[in-house]
Chains A and B, each alone.
Chain A
Amino acid sequence: MDSVQKLYRLFLLLVIGGLAWNILPFLASVIVMLIFAFLFTTIFLQTVDTLERRIHSRGGSVLLILGSVITLGLWFFGSFIANLGSQIKVFTTKLQQEDFAISLEDLSNKSREYLPDFMGNMIPESAKIIATAKDSLGNVFQNILSLLGSAGSFFFVAVMVLIFTIILLIEYHDFKRTLVRFIPNKYLEIGLRTIYNIEQQISKYLRGQILAAGSVAILSIIGLFILNQTGANMTLIVFIGIIAGLANLIPMVGPFVGMIPAILIALMNNLGNDAAMAHQLFGVVPSPFFIMDIVFMFIIVQQIDNNFITPILVGESVGLHPMAVMIVLLIGGTMMGPLGMLFAIPAAGVLKVIISEMIFISKNSHLL
């Protein structure tokens, strides 16, 4: 290559780089949509392949599987919002009642007894709590409606991701072949191996995570059911379990997020109930409204998940050291928040595959 050609290539590279840098902010949302579509494609690819084998129609299997998943998702969120709505209505009525105010006064006083003075003073008067709760809960439906209004852009993104996912699922194998066409002959075999390893890495991780989330959901439902037998008076346990499972997809932070709906429901259902107010975990630890029981139950579920389920289902799928996992999660969380944490580990897995193949290439360049 002569120096003019080198200079020309450098110039071209700079122009393309400059253009990409300027266009990137506009493309960022599309790239995120494509990443989501790719992840969904990886999750459903094997199921689509299996169904295609049976019904001999790729398009049909994609539509059947995505249709079922979307229907289930809509049914879940629809009935969850409906149930939560009626629960909030009941709770709002409860707030009007006198005995409820007394119970809240009790809770406020008891909390002050257990806590040191400086913390106890932070707890507001029961009347104030009721007023605040009335104000916020009274407007909850309006808030939900305005949330749905502002969710217009989310709806657009979801539809775009769905369209991308459908196209990717139908054309996945052809897309892959097209991508392979761009690999120079020299790197063809190693390129194919890298693509296959990346696919396996992501697919294994996502499947493992989904199975782990499913088991956390089931264990949480069982745990909440057991708590109900001890008088916890929990409702919507299936929904709480599923939310805990979904939250579990985000490592480390998720489990705590999963507890919140359960604690809120326990508070809503048990306010005004003296027995629940005086409840103690194992007859020793004060656990008003079964809050400590719920926390304890979720800790047990997490322990079972961390020590038995995840090591078996997810385990070595990414092959990252726990310290590396924590660092990667922190980086992902800092860059993109919870979404970054969700993608951090599979992204690190992909990077690991690419780096190991690059090391192989640099060590064995004479063989290529």
Chain B
Amino acid sequence: MKSLYENFFKNKESSDPVLQVLGQVPIFENLTPKELKDLARLTHERSYKANEPVFKKLAPGEGMYVILKGTVEIKDPDSNTTFATLGSGDFFGELALLDEEPRSAMAVATEASELVGFFRTDLLTLMKRGPELGNKILLNLSRVLGERLRRTNLELTKSN
């Protein structure tokens, strides 16, 4: 009876780890399950070994990554300063969705990790195939960046 329920009635997507993780990312919030599924079809699942760079500093940025499993460190290789250690559900590199500017820091997988990549070319394809969904993502992205700018302003004001 259980298998019958699982085969016919249970929403299979809800158990897909990629969909679950993408649904938690603020850039993809407010997307319907169908939109999330369309988005997931454009993303790329990648596996990284421990200490394997995801991208290097000054490399031309092409897109963002969401951590499915594992840990990624964002650091400056010159000064060896670690800016952040990110875990499952976290995302990084989202600015590259908007321009081709060189990466400002390096991202390294500190353990065997699985990431989901969403790149500018995917966003451009999405904007052509489904402008509504593309606009939703762009609006969310602007919201995230705006919030980050506001927080930076606040910190600058505090430090002054």
Contact = CB atoms under 8 A, between A and B. Distances in A.
A321 interface: no
Contacts of B142: none
B42 A193 contact: no
- Interface centre among A185, A192, A196, by most chain B C-beta atoms within 10 angstroms, is A185
Given A52-B129, A188-B44, A196 B59 contact: no
Interface of B: 41-42, 44, 46, 48, 52, 54-56, 58-63, 117, 119, 121, 124-125, 128-131
A46 B59 contact: no
A49 B63 contact: no
19 contacts: A46-B128, A50-B128, A52-B129, A173-B125, A177-B41, A177-B42, A180-B44, A185-B52, A188-B46, A188-B117, A189-B55, A189-B59, A189-B60, A189-B62, A189-B63, A190-B62, A192-B119, A193-B121, A367-B58
A364 interface: yes
B129 A193 contact: no
A173 B48 CA distance: 24
B160 to A, nearest CB: 36
Nearest to B56: A367
Contacts of A180: 44
Contact of A368 (B44, B56, B119, B128): B56
A196 B48 CA distance: 24
A181 interface: yes
A195 interface: yes
A174 interface: yes
Nearest to A56: B34
A53 interface: yes
Given A188-B117, A192-B62, 14 more contacts: A49-B128, A49-B129, A173-B125, A177-B44, A180-B44, A189-B62, A189-B63, A190-B62, A192-B121, A193-B62, A196-B124, A364-B59, A366-B56, A368-B56
Contacts of A53: 129-131
Contacts of B60: 189-190, 193, 367
A40 B54 CA distance: 36
A50 B60 CA distance: 30
A141 to B, nearest CB: 48
Given A49-B129, A173-B125, A368 B62 contact: no
A96 to B, nearest CB: 60
Chain B interface mostly: mixed
Contacts of B61: 189
Listed residue (B61, B119, B131) with the most chain A CB atoms within 10 angstroms of its CB: B119
Interface string A187-225: 011101101100000000000000000000000000000
Nearest to B133: A53
Contacts of A49: 128-129
Interface in A28-54: 46, 49-50, 52-53
A103 to B, nearest CB: 59
Nearest to B41: A173
Contact of B119 (A174, A189, A366): A189
Interface string A334-368: 00000000000000000000000000000010111
Contacts of A177: 41-42, 44
Contacts of A50: 128
B54 to A, nearest CB: 8
A57 to B, nearest CB: 13
Nearest to A52: B129
A293 B150 CA distance: 71
Nearest to B122: A192
B58 A185 contact: no
A174 B130 contact: no
A53 B127 CA distance: 11
A174 B41 contact: yes
A368 B53 CA distance: 9
A173 B62 contact: no
A195 B121 contact: yes
A364 B129 CA distance: 33
A367 B59 contact: yes
B66 to A, nearest CB: 15
Nearest to B63: A189
B34 to A, nearest CB: 9
Nearest to A366: B56
A181 B117 CA distance: 11
A342 to B, nearest CB: 26
A177 B59 CA distance: 23
Contacts of A192: 44, 62-63, 119, 121
Contacts of A368: 56, 59
B94 to A, nearest CB: 14
Interface centre among B52, B54, B121, B130 (most CB of A within 10 A): B121
B59 A185 contact: no
